[in-house]
Amino acid sequence: MDADDLDNLYRQEPNSRPPLLPWAPYVAIYQWGLNRYDQEAYRQERAERRDYFDSLQQTVADQPRKLKRVQRQRYQALNKLDKSITEGNLAMRWGEPLAVYDPNQTAYTAKQMQQYLSNRGYFENVVTFQASTNQRLTRVTYQVQEGKPYKIDSLVLVTRDTAIAGLIEKYEENSLLKIGDNYDSDVIEDERNRIDVLLKDHGYYTFSRNYIYFEADTSYLGDRKVVIRTLIRTPEGQDHHKVYTIDSVIVTTDANIAQPGTRLRERSNGLVYQYFEKEYATRILDRRIFLYPDSLYSRSNTLNTQRQLANLDNFKFINVKYDTLGGEFIARVYMSPLPKRQISDEIGLLVSQAFPGPLVNVTFTNRNVFKHLENLQMTGRFSIEGVPQGDTTTGTSTEASVNASLFFPQFLIPGGEQFKQRLGYANPRTRAQIGYAFNNRPEYNRTTVNAGFVYTWETLRGTRYSYNLWDLSLIQTQDIAESFQTILDEQAAQGNNLRRTFEPSLVSSMQVSATYNFLKNPTNDLQTAYLRVFLDMGGTIWNVISPTSVIPESLGLATFQYLKFNTDFIRYRPLRDNSVLAYRFNIGMAGSYDQSNPVLPFEKYFFAGGSNSIRAWSPRRLGPGSYRQEDDDGNIQLQFDQQGEILLASSVEWRRNIFDFIDGALFVDVGNTWTFREESARPGANFEFNRFWNEFAVGMGAGIRADFSFLILRLDVGVKTHDPAFPIGERWFPSEYPYNQPFMVNNPAYTLNLGIGYPF
């Protein structure tokens, strides 16, 4: 028995209130609004606004653009008033009415609990309740005696349709009902759905789940055993259900286009295509259509056809209809093309490191470039944001980039047509891209020219894969600040070759990633769990050929050989009282195996701290290990990004709606980065099994989020709770931090994070 499920059956619950406080603020807000609420006034205002807009529409009836704007304003105004009439004013919607005890609701709750337990096989359950009142407050205690569950003893299939009986027996091993399991009505309902899908995938087009019945019999076995009979009924007056075989498949590629004349017809792979003008290679469309003449009707193949055609990003609507007129069973696929050329823009705020700044992103898409459903996408991006330059100062980071990507709806690899046809279920795509990026930071300027060739695909269960066959980046760093160069030189003198990552370099790599969704049919969009695994193999080509054989020495380009692995697990679990528990585990390792250049490209290191990491620390300023960044007076001074080769991080966050679109959160972040080797330039940075557990940074905090559905604005305040930069014994709430002072931007004990979207 699941106690949380019983909690969800309460017909009445106490009003929400802060922990340990006897006050219900939402009731006060509701009562304040109720005292000022006049429903009749809202009704009168609605009538007046309706008449006003109706008159205004007549005035601008001959001006289409103004008319459209007035109609939109009318809808918004009346919809807002309708909400006030049905749900109350803003204060009433933000608050909650007083929970008044109702004994009838309590009795109904007890009956619901009894029904719930019976549905789970606890047929002999007993649920009682007792209500006690003290000072106008009523406390209800439910006593639940579930008893012993009834278990499935045997399964029996009953049907007059021998073909269906044979099909169900063939797939009997997939049945959700197992002998020895507890009786459970939810499992029985899932089994009904499974049989329904099974039959509809084997030609039973007109079959309905209403033909499936279950009977549970406990009358003669005794000892809490139950026989479950599965009954498949047939249409009235018949002894079987009809099986449908597709006679022909007709595909219309321009369903939303109307013009004089008759559509042309073309046959390909047994399918009939019709169009006014041929725009798409039918050979490519064949691979995304899984309906064939002389094949049985299949609901799954129908849905997969719609899904894979939509994945081509060339059609806005895909409908599949079946025509049974004239004694034939015809599958008709209708596709409505998207605009061939499209421009989209995004203007907003960028928050990735410290303080927000403007962001402009413009994308131009040219679809079906070479008539084989290839899409060309060109993107331009420009952003400015604040980045920390220590604990109390902030600089500016400017980024600009342009990228061009060509997407192919297939794998550009050798292989026969049958092989590529089978791959259609996996939504295969090939992306060739080239781009240029410029980054102007307080410490340096950095330009990158990048090119890549990527394969992506996914399974029917939702696992997504990506394989970057080759990724080449030509990196040039200029205008290094004197203070930053001094640090690089000092570390180089102590054996740290970090400055080599800022030399002109050519970075080549192959990358593989997979994202697996554990919850294939979540009950709501807040419940999900997924695992992402990423492997980056840098400089693999230099294992075969020498860099000097292809890169002229005069260019002075550094090369790298490295391996990087990262796995990220995230879980969202909805709780009762309108809250969600989210947690994350992020683990990574990266290291160079190049003896001549034993460093990583700077972008390949791991970093900790910031809005999406350990939020009590500034972006990229945590760690590595117990390394302490100090100024000349021995005080902590977080000056520059601190890179690491090992990452261990975890976050737990409790999220709850406060009112309307405002959510609150409490969180704990734990993590750090380390290096594999000791560094004299950064003592304490290396990973050691006998001490790493005491070098986790711990940050606690709270946040407020404004959820506008299309955009989530986030404000988090993190408190340094355990700082590994201090000596052992002084790391919990270090005395050097002024916790007793009011929160200020320059208080090192606290870190303010502005963000867009959730942290994970």
pLDDT tens sequence across 66-116: 888 888 888 988 988 998 998 888 888 888 888 888 888 888 988 998 998
CA distances from 109 to 5, 9, 116, 139, 532 (A): 12, 6, 10, 14, 42
What mean pLDDT comes out for the span 21-39? 85
Secondary element (H or E) of residue 674: strand 662-674
Cα–Cα dist 171/179, whole Å = 16
Tell me how far apart the terminal alpha carbons of the chain are, to the nearest angstrom.
32
Lowest model confidence (mean pLDDT) among 306-320, 385-399, 527-541, 691-705: 385-399
Q: Is the pLDDT of residue 688 over 70?
A: yes
Residues 631 and 757 in one domain: yes
Secondary element (H or E) of residue 714: strand 712-722
Tally of domains within the chain: 4
Q: 689: alpha, beta or left, given left = phi > 0 and alpha = psi -120 to 50?
A: alpha
Residues 693 and 716 in one domain: yes
Residue 684 in any domain: the answer is yes
Residues 16 and 90 in one domain: yes
Residue 176 in any domain: the answer is yes
Residue 691 in any domain: the answer is yes
What mean pLDDT comes out for the span 745-755? 77
Residues 179 and 115 in one domain: no
Contact 571, 529 (CB under 8 A): yes
Secondary element (H or E) of residue 71: helix 64-87
Question: 577 pLDDT band (50/70/90 cuts)?
Answer: low
| Domain end among 201, 232, 263 | 232
Residues contacting residue 759 through CB under 8 Å, at least 6 positions apart: 611, 612, 615, 651, 653, 667, 714, 716
Residue 597 in any domain: the answer is no
Question: Three-state DSSP class for 61?
Answer: coil
Cα–Cα dist 264/275, whole Å = 5
Contact 119, 226 (CB under 8 A): no
Token pair 């737990």: residue: 652
Cα–Cα dist 86/82, whole Å = 6
Closest CA to 500 of 541, 438, 556: 556
Contact 429, 408 (CB under 8 A): yes
| Domain end among 304, 337, 370 | 337
Residues contacting residue 671 through CB under 8 Å, at least 6 positions apart: 586, 608, 613, 614, 622, 647, 648, 649, 650, 651, 696, 697
Contact 620, 603 (CB under 8 A): no
Is the model more confident about 268 or about 620?
268
Q: How do residues 601-641 score in pLDDT, each as one tens digit?
A: 888 999 999 888 998 988 888 989 998 877 666 566 666 77
Lowest model confidence (mean pLDDT) among 5-14, 377-386, 592-601: 5-14
Residues in the chain: 760
Contact 353, 619 (CB under 8 A): yes
Contact 582, 570 (CB under 8 A): yes
Return the pLDDT at 522.
44
Residue 535 in any domain: the answer is no
Residue 539 in any domain: the answer is no
Tokens describing residue 530:
């997924």
What mean pLDDT comes out for the span 355-384? 89
Residues 295 and 160 in one domain: no
Beta bridge partners of 455: 430, 467
Return the pLDDT at 392.
52
Tokens describing residue 121:
């096989």
Closest CA to 669 of 705, 696, 689, 688: 696
Please tell me what DSSP assigns to residue 43.
H
Q: How do residues 430-484 score in pLDDT, each as one tens digit?
A: 999 999 999 888 888 889 999 999 999 998 777 899 999 989 999 888 888 777 7
Q: Where in the sequence is the domain holding 74, given as residue range(s)?
A: 3-145
Return the pLDDT at 529.
86
Q: Is the pLDDT of residue 524 over 70?
A: no
C-beta atoms surrounding 554 within 10 Å:
6
| Burial of residue 697, with CB atoms counted within 10 A of its CB: 0-12 exposed, 13-18 middle, 19 or more buried | buried
* Percent of the chain scoring above 70 in pLDDT: 92
One-letter amino acid for residue 639 of the chain:
Q
Cα–Cα dist 47/51, whole Å = 6
Please tell me what DSSP assigns to residue 241.
P
ω into residue 624 within 30 of 0, thus cis? yes
Contact 428, 457 (CB under 8 A): yes
Residues 68 and 129 in one domain: yes
Residues contacting residue 710 through CB under 8 Å, at least 6 positions apart: none
Residue 473 in any domain: the answer is no
Lowest model confidence (mean pLDDT) among 480-484, 645-649, 698-702: 480-484
Residue 441 in any domain: the answer is no
Residue 191 maps to which CATH number? 3.10.20.310
Question: 518 pLDDT band (50/70/90 cuts)?
Answer: confident
| Domain end among 232, 257, 291 | 232
Residues 192 and 107 in one domain: no
Residues 228 and 164 in one domain: yes
Residues 59 and 185 in one domain: no
CA distances from 168 to 157, 191, 211, 296, 697 (A): 9, 11, 14, 17, 56
Tokens describing residue 403:
């990228």
Question: 523 pLDDT band (50/70/90 cuts)?
Answer: very low
Contact 251, 240 (CB under 8 A): no
For residues 620, 626, 631, 636, the Cα torsion angle rounded to the nearest 10 degrees is 70
What mean pLDDT comes out for the span 409-422? 84
| Burial of residue 571, with CB atoms counted within 10 A of its CB: 0-12 exposed, 13-18 middle, 19 or more buried | middle
C-beta atoms surrounding 261 within 10 Å:
6
Q: How do residues 121-180 score in pLDDT, each as one tens digit?
A: 999 899 998 888 887 888 888 888 888 999 999 999 999 999 999 999 999 999 999 999
Secondary element (H or E) of residue 70: helix 64-87
Secondary element (H or E) of residue 56: helix 39-59
Residues 122 and 163 in one domain: no
Residues 141 and 159 in one domain: no
Helix count and strand count (H, E) for the chain? 12, 27
For the chain, the average pLDDT equals 86
**Most confident option among 16-20, 420-424, 700-704:** 700-704
Return the pLDDT at 699.
94
Return the pLDDT at 492.
73
Question: 356 pLDDT band (50/70/90 cuts)?
Answer: low
Tokens describing residue 640:
């520059």
| Burial of residue 555, with CB atoms counted within 10 A of its CB: 0-12 exposed, 13-18 middle, 19 or more buried | exposed
Residues contacting residue 350 through CB under 8 Å, at least 6 positions apart: 356, 357, 358, 359, 383, 384, 385, 756
Beta strands in 276-329 (DSSP E): 315-323
Residues 110 and 228 in one domain: no
